[in-house]
Amino acid sequence: MQNVATRFSSKIKGNLGAFGVPAYRRYWFGSFASVGAIQISTIVQGWLLIDEMGGTPLWLGYLGASASIPTIIVAIFGGVLADKFNKRTLMFIISSFMAISLVVLALLDSSGHIKLWHVLLIAAIQGIFGGLDGPIRSSFFPLLISRKHMMSAVALSSAMWQLGRILAPAIGGWIIVSMGTEGAFFAAAIGWILMILLLITIKVEMEESKSSFGLIGQIGEGFKYIKKNNEMLIIIIMTYATHFFGFQSLQLMPLFAKRMGQDAGGLGLMFSVMGIGSLIGTLVVQKIKKSNYVGYIMLSGSILFCLSLILFAFTDQFFIALILLFIGPFFNTLYFVTSMTIVQLRVLNQMRGRVMGIYTITFSLIPLGGMMGGFVAEIFDERFAVTIGAVILCLITILIMIYKPNIRNIKMTDIGDR
């Protein structure tokens, strides 16, 4: 009987993948709390500027730039820190500063004396620590799992963000209505405090680097390492292109909603459907890791993502638009989770922080791509802006599929997923 129970328990843990590992499970819940805090605070900051401070759309542009530019600048340095120092300690420090910044914002808001520069300054500070957090977090969780659980862990990390995209707007809106924007900032601070408390429970052995701390030299080593690994280099370049050219629709979504005669509720539904598509994608992608066609599936996911964007750009039917907004993120998730898993499996532990510092810059390219999309939409319209970005990304992917057989023929078994 005991043997049966043991086999049953082992089977359940095997099906859970990385979530069956207690340390990773605690890390995931802590990260989910902090990711929710990031997304809620972003929503509330925008609402504070427009609704309560009487700001203009230009103020939202300032807010986005204040957060994204510091993130891009410091991400590489965060990777160097991750390779040099104890990652868990660094995450404690970052989480503490993020919580403090939100408490300060809440106190300023509740005082009634908050100014635009207060919000922008705190957004920039959060951008700095967020830029450091990305590569440190991405190089920390692989220490908690075995290599066979890597794709599961990457998929679960992606699911965390997608769940946040679905839940954060509703939760943030409810808190604003119930407790005001200051209450929402305090709630977001609690998310980071939960991350700290769960980090305390995670014990993992980590050796600090014995190499000399030459900052520029360490960054240079990261770029040289990526350059030597052609597969990693191509995947990172393609991921940059995906987030710059493929996500301009996020910034322009209000214009599409207006074109289809939708109000704020319809716009919220459009974003939620995108999150659901991505979430379903994270569940499906784990089934392909044993396939001999992982490379083809990854690249095909990107191409189908582009095609769905083009079709979405030119539909005037809201129901069809929702279907395409589900399909696009679903296929993009097949690309994203697979590509990030390949990078995580390829990189050596002592280089992981620097590589992930360079890799995670990709997420900050979304608002920059949105700025370019806005410029094109101003000259033509939003449909042309999204289409031209999707066409460029599609051509890049097709060229890689044709001329880079080492990418299209990738198999998980070839890179040590065992």
Q: What is the rounded CA–CA span in Å between residue 104 and residue 114?
A: 10
Q: Are 106 and 185 in contact (CB under 8 A)?
A: yes
Residues 228 and 262 in one domain: yes
Domain limits for position 55: 19-202
The per-residue pLDDT for 74 is 86
Say if residue 12's pLDDT is above 80: no
Q: Which of 143-152, 195-204, 387-396 has the lowest mean pLDDT?
A: 143-152
Residue 390 domain-assigned? yes
Q: What share of the chain is helix, strand, coil (3-state, %, to 5)?
A: 85, 0, 15
Residues 256 and 114 in one domain: no
Alpha-carbon distances, residue 159 vs 54, 177, 337 (angstroms): 35, 27, 10
Residue 12 domain-assigned? no
Residues 239 and 190 in one domain: no
Residue 8 domain-assigned? no
Of the candidates 43, 53, 68, 66, the residue with the CA atom closest to the CA atom of residue 120: 66
Q: Which of 9-13, 65-69, 172-176, 334-338 has the lowest mean pLDDT?
A: 9-13
Q: What is the rounded CA–CA span in Å between residue 87 and residue 94?
A: 10
Q: Are 328 and 322 in contact (CB under 8 A)?
A: no
pLDDT cut 70: percent of the chain above it: 89
Residue 331: CATH number of its domain: 1.20.1250.20
Residue 257 domain-assigned? yes
The per-residue pLDDT for 2 is 47
> Token pair for residue 10?
């082992």
What are the pLDDT digits (tens) for 320-344? 999 999 999 999 999 999 999 889 8
Domain count of the fold of the chain = 2
Residue 281 domain-assigned? yes
Residues 188 and 258 in one domain: no
Residue with the bigger pLDDT between 119 and 98: it is: 98
Residue 158 domain-assigned? yes
Q: Which residues contact 203 (CB under 8 A, 6 or more apart)?
A: 23
Q: How many helices (H) and strands (E) does the chain have?
A: 16, 0
Residue 14 domain-assigned? no
Residues 231 and 178 in one domain: no
Q: What is the rounded CA–CA span in Å between residue 243 and residue 335?
A: 12
Say if residue 62's pLDDT is above 50: yes
The Cβ of residue 280 has, within 10 Å, a number of other Cβ atoms equal to 16
Q: What is the rounded CA–CA span in Å between residue 333 and residue 284?
A: 9
The Cβ of residue 22 has, within 10 Å, a number of other Cβ atoms equal to 11
Tell me the pLDDT band of 284, cut-offs 50, 70 and 90. Answer: confident
Residue with the bigger pLDDT between 287 and 414: it is: 287
The per-residue pLDDT for 11 is 43
Residues 219 and 177 in one domain: no
The per-residue pLDDT for 28 is 94
* Torsion angle of the four alpha carbons 312, 159, 96, 80, in this order, in degrees rounded to the nearest 10: -80
Burial 339-358 (b: 16+ CB within 10 A, else e): bbbbbbbbbeeebbbbbbbb
Tell me the pLDDT band of 207, cut-offs 50, 70 and 90. Answer: low
Residue 63 φ then ψ, to 5°? -65, -45
> Token pair for residue 367?
């608002």
> Token pair for residue 239?
């991921």
Residues 187 and 241 in one domain: no
Residues 197 and 242 in one domain: no
Residues 171 and 82 in one domain: yes
What are the pLDDT digits (tens) for 99-108? 999 999 999 9
Residues 166 and 263 in one domain: no
Residues 254 and 398 in one domain: yes
What are the pLDDT digits (tens) for 226-237? 999 999 999 999
